[in-house]
Chain A
Amino acid sequence: MNAIITNLKNSWLKYATIGISGLLAAFIVTLLVLVVTRPTLEGLITSITSSEIHFAIMLSLVTALVSTVLCIVIGVPAAYALARYSFRGKNVVNAVLDMPLALPPLVAGLGLLLLFGTTGFGLGLADIGIEFVFTPLGIIAAQFFVNIPFMLRIMRSTFESINPRYEYVAKTLGCSDIQALWRVTLPMSSSGLLAGSVITLAKGIGEFGAALLLAGAIKWKTETLPIALFLNMSCGNLDMAISAATILIIISITALYVFERYGGASRF
């Protein structure tokens, strides 16, 4: 009798699965701790306060901010259309817009490089001074391209979760279509917008592959945090590489926290 109850309490499956998830969490924490504790505190501080890392932080922040704003400006209207209207080819558009999610960033970067470096469109832009290849503008373009699906998916599910009748009511209360969107739907989707922005911002700061191909890894020019990590690592400058990594870890943890805290309703 007692043995049976003990068997019931000690579910084999329960302990095994809990054990696996615990091990996985420990594995991740170990990696992060290894990175952060590798250099001496002194060395870390010196590196973090170095002007090269400062440049990398600023470049990462500015490019990520600009690409996030672009993601909002272009992603929010597109997500709204996909959530609210039915139109011919909607499924195809949906699938294509999700493509960059599955695409390796290097491939995306190659495509961008070909677009801006070889076509008339790209060369024309370069002629009037808007140059993407091996410039910070290229970093922005790469971040935008890789991150836009995240903004799209989060905002699409946010808009889908808002009953369109809120807009109907607003329209009967004197709003045009755009006013109803501006005064009702957008404020109601603020947490989704925040979650989407935080994800694109954090991912933008960490963007490497696509940016590497389009903007290159040029010290003091296109050297974002991940590029700084890559450059310093390749020439054995471990302290500098790790300080860049540490900052990236801090940014990721902060972003994750904000996302979990405010983006609860959005799934993507």
Chain B
Amino acid sequence: MLQIQNLSKDMGEFVLRNVTLDIQQGEYLVIIGPTGAGKTILLETIAGIYPPDSGTIILDGKDITGLPPKERNICVVYQDYMLFPHLTVEDNIGFGLVSKKMPKDEIKKRVTDAAKLLSIDQLLHRYPDTLSGGEQQRAAIARAIVMEPVLLLLDEPLSALDGQTREMLRKELRRLHKLFNITIVHVTHNFEEVFALADRVAVMNGGDIIQCGPPDEVFRKPNCAFIANFTSVENIFRGVCTSQDGASEIQVNGLTITSSTCKGNGEVYATVRPEDILLSREPIQSSARNSFKGTITDIVNNGMVIRVTIDTGIPFVSVLTRQGFDCMDLKEGEGLYLTFKASAVHIF
């Protein structure tokens, strides 16, 4: 649907270096990377704000590299909303429709519909600076959605919001994506957003996309040390979740992991922090709901802590302090039990 080929742009402080990226129709692509990786400039180049130094952007088979933004039908939502302060919420949402010279009553109808969709229809007459962050971002999303863009670009849309609002808007984005089957490129540095939203994730660093694929693949099989360090998320499992009695059971490669959080049924990602996994030679009788037997496949000495990888059918990583490691006298190839509480399992 969108093909970016060898796109380069040098803005001094921020650069793009030979970015090549294919985005599918209806896909939710999340781009993640450290500050200064060139994520925002990539979005803005796709939107047509800057002409690239070289490379091409092809949208639905048409070369749009030199097209001005207004002819692309690509909308952008920024982290700090960028609602026009001199216009009411209603006029903000209708801004693009006015550009399209749509009749007034049609604009009013579409603006109201979009506002209802994002539950801000009671705020239409207000000015942006009287709204909370979450409300402002809803208005900004409505302003983009109402244009029915072929591609929606989100630049850290949730980063300025507090935890609860962020969670709600994240669900909202997921719902809108499903509802309109709209193609979305979402830039973030938040891993939860990757797992909650992404069909595919692209990791960006130094102006280039260094790995792109389904989240579990990228996070579990990073293709370079940078991604491994940057992500540093371990024990990520993709599985099928069934909820019962306020807890969830996740089937991962024949293993059943129990979690005390509940996110409904279906495909989920589950993570366990390495320091939450307890290792023992014998099975432990305890209140912890998860206990598996496995074999040590790898021991890495990091100085302060020792990282032990145990294969139980799926690989778990656990960390031990030096004293704990010396005490247990672990060796590669040995059998071991690992135990962790249901509350230590996080589900996305």
Q: Which A residues lie at the B interface, using CB under 8 A? A: 163, 165-166, 168-176, 179, 183-184, 187-188, 190
Pairs across A and B, CB under 8 Å, 28 listed: A163-B80, A166-B84, A168-B47, A168-B49, A168-B69, A169-B143, A170-B84, A171-B47, A171-B68, A171-B69, A171-B70, A172-B75, A173-B70, A173-B75, A173-B95, A173-B99, A173-B143, A173-B147, A174-B99, A174-B100, A174-B147, A175-B70, A176-B68, A176-B70, A179-B99, A187-B84, A187-B86, A188-B85
* Chain B hits for A170, CB < 8 A: 84, 95
B311 at the interface (CB under 8 A from A): no
* CA–CA, A137 and B192, complex, Å: 67
* Chain B hits for A183, CB < 8 A: 95
Q: Is the CB–CB distance between A169 and B72 below 8 Å? A: no
B44 at the interface (CB under 8 A from A): yes
B335 at the interface (CB under 8 A from A): no
* Chain A hits for B86, CB < 8 A: 187-188, 190
Q: Is the CB–CB distance between B74 and A172 below 8 Å? A: yes
Give how many B residues have a beta carbon under 8 Å from the other chain's beta carbons: 23
- Chain B residue nearest in CB terms to A186: B86
* Chain A hits for B310, CB < 8 A: none
Say whether chain A's binding surface is mostly helix, strand, loop, or mixed: helix
Q: Which B residues lie at the A interface, using CB under 8 A? A: 44, 47-49, 68-70, 72, 74-76, 78, 80, 82, 84-86, 95-96, 99-100, 143, 147
* CA–CA, A138 and B302, complex, Å: 81
* CA–CA, A176 and B95, complex, Å: 13
The minimal Cβ–Cβ distance linking B153 to chain A, given in whole angstroms, is: 8
- Chain A residue nearest in CB terms to B75: A172
The minimal Cβ–Cβ distance linking B182 to chain A, given in whole angstroms, is: 15
Q: Which of A165, A175, A179 contacts B82 (CB 8 A)?
A: A165
The minimal Cβ–Cβ distance linking B171 to chain A, given in whole angstroms, is: 24
Q: A169-B76, A173-B95, A173-B99 are in contact. Are A163 and B82 (CB under 8 A)?
A: yes
* Chain B hits for A179, CB < 8 A: 99
